[in-house]
A and B are shown apart, each in its own frame.
Chain A
Amino acid sequence: MNCQQAGPLIDFYADGELDAAGILELEKHFHDCPACASAWRNAQSLKKALKQDALFFAAPKELRQAIKAELHSQLRTTSRWDFWNWNWLSTTTTGVAAACLALLLTVTLTRPSAQGRLAQEIVSSHVRSLMANHELDVVSTDQHTVKPWFNGRLDFSPPVKDLATHEFPLVGGRLDYLGGRSVAALVFQRHKHVINLFIWPTKDADSEPTARAPINGYNLIHWSHGGMTFWAVSDLNEKELMEFARDFGAN
């Protein structure tokens, strides 16, 4: 590989879009070429500079409120209209019965599998935690504060780790309810992205972190270890979420 070939690959490498063979060749080239090695360091420091939290503009509260208010007022206008229509239509009760039957059929036919239902529940729980802005019962970046907090609140003791050194700082924890049982939820952050990690006991054998099909744009990774089952969910991209899962699983 020469410098001309290496040039464009440096960005791809920094963006995680280079395959393993390319990475090997490029690394070898860096070893032989100080100029490209320095370009690589520059690419990395530029990336770091661009990922500062301070560069991200969060939506102002008044914008959020204005949008919600506008949507709800549109709804009120339409629902009055619906009601008026409904009186007309309801005279034909057979139509209503047919609609109910159709709805029932749709619901039955589209009912997801148990795993799919759980995944859906996990995503809903994640979204709820974001929307209420109350994602935490215990706010602490210290694993030695968060872990004891769960004692007495759960019938198991979830593993708690701070991954700040891996750039996934622990923000806190809370109790949640999934699949008919109380579970531990640990909250981590990467930049502005919140990661919820749900943990509860399982009889399943250990399994490697596996990405599940994203739901509504949220990525999900599931694994089991030492009698516990883990579900990580976030709007963070799948690659970084997988990094998180591996970092958490590693001792």
Chain B
Amino acid sequence: MEERERLKAFEQTVLPHLDAAYNLARWLAGNDHDAQDVAQEACLRAFKFFGSFRGENARAWLLTIVRNTFYNWLQKNRPAEMVGELDDEALAVEDVSANAETVNLRQADAETVRRAIGELPAEFREMIVLREMEGFSYKEIAGLSDVPIGTVMSRLARARKLLQKSLAGEFRSGGAR
């Protein structure tokens, strides 16, 4: 009976965030099949550890598990893609935002933007998903991805510069759309 109550509580507090879980897994894994595997495993693990959930932010809690599940999965299935410690400095990009001509990114179609996000390193990509699609604060992202808040800020800034650069490039090479 107690187990049944636990499942009911889990279905009411955690499972409503399945869309967010799948979205993060989908952006990290890069395809639907692997994303479903990761999201499913993450949800089953979440249920197993539901006892340790203290009723704080269920979405952040679930996404933390999705993230960890993904990186474990990556190590097992695509070890070549594990970057280990990401060298943030090595990924420095020239500052394009200050002197680039204003490009109307608002007009950028979803397919183009999707490709640009997909080309980012996973550590940058997840920052964009957590900040822009999920609306988490810097502090929440830091807690969720277990990095200092300063790293969140610098990764976000770099991710955005890379995106602006690749999207501006798209527009130049693709002409007016």
Quick check: B102 and A49 within 8 Å, CB to CB? no
Residues in B whose Cβ lies below 8 Å from that of A50: 113, 117, 128, 132-133, 163
**A75 CA to B48 CA, complexed, in Å:** 11
Query: Which of B26, B97, B105, B157 lies in contact with A49, CB distance below 8 A?
Result: B105
Q: Quick check: which of A19-27, A123-131, A145-153, A221-229 contacts chain B, the rest being far away? A: A123-131
**A130 CA to B113 CA, complexed, in Å:** 29
Interfacial residues of chain A within 21-77, with CB under 8 A of chain B in the complex: 35-36, 38-39, 41-43, 45-52, 54-60, 62-64, 66-68, 70-72, 74-75
Whether A235 sits at the interface, judged by CB under 8 Å, is yes
Quick check: A58 and B164 within 8 Å, CB to CB? no
Quick check: B135 and A63 within 8 Å, CB to CB? no
Quick check: A240 and B7 within 8 Å, CB to CB? no
Closest to A78 in B: B3
Quick check: B22 and A59 within 8 Å, CB to CB? yes
**Tally of chain B residues near chain A (CB < 8 A):** 65
How extensive is the interface on chain A, given as a class?
35 or more
Residues of A within 8 A of B (CB): 3, 7-8, 10-12, 15, 17, 35-36, 38-39, 41-43, 45-52, 54-60, 62-64, 66-68, 70-72, 74-75, 78-79, 82, 124, 127, 130-131, 191-193, 214-217, 235-237, 240
28 pairs of residues in contact across A and B, judged by CB atoms under 8 Å: A3-B98, A17-B137, A42-B100, A42-B103, A43-B160, A46-B160, A49-B108, A50-B113, A50-B128, A50-B132, A55-B113, A55-B114, A57-B26, A58-B19, A59-B22, A63-B18, A67-B15, A67-B39, A68-B15, A70-B44, A71-B11, A74-B47, A131-B16, A191-B133, A216-B12, A235-B17, A237-B136, A237-B137
Given contacts A54-B110, A59-B21, A66-B36, list 11 more A-B pairs with CB under 8 A: A35-B98, A42-B100, A49-B108, A50-B132, A56-B19, A59-B39, A60-B32, A66-B40, A67-B39, A70-B44, A71-B10
By Cβ-Cβ distance, the 10 closest A-B pairs, closest first, are: A54-B110, A59-B22, A217-B58, A45-B105, A50-B132, A57-B26, A217-B57, A237-B135, A49-B105, A216-B13
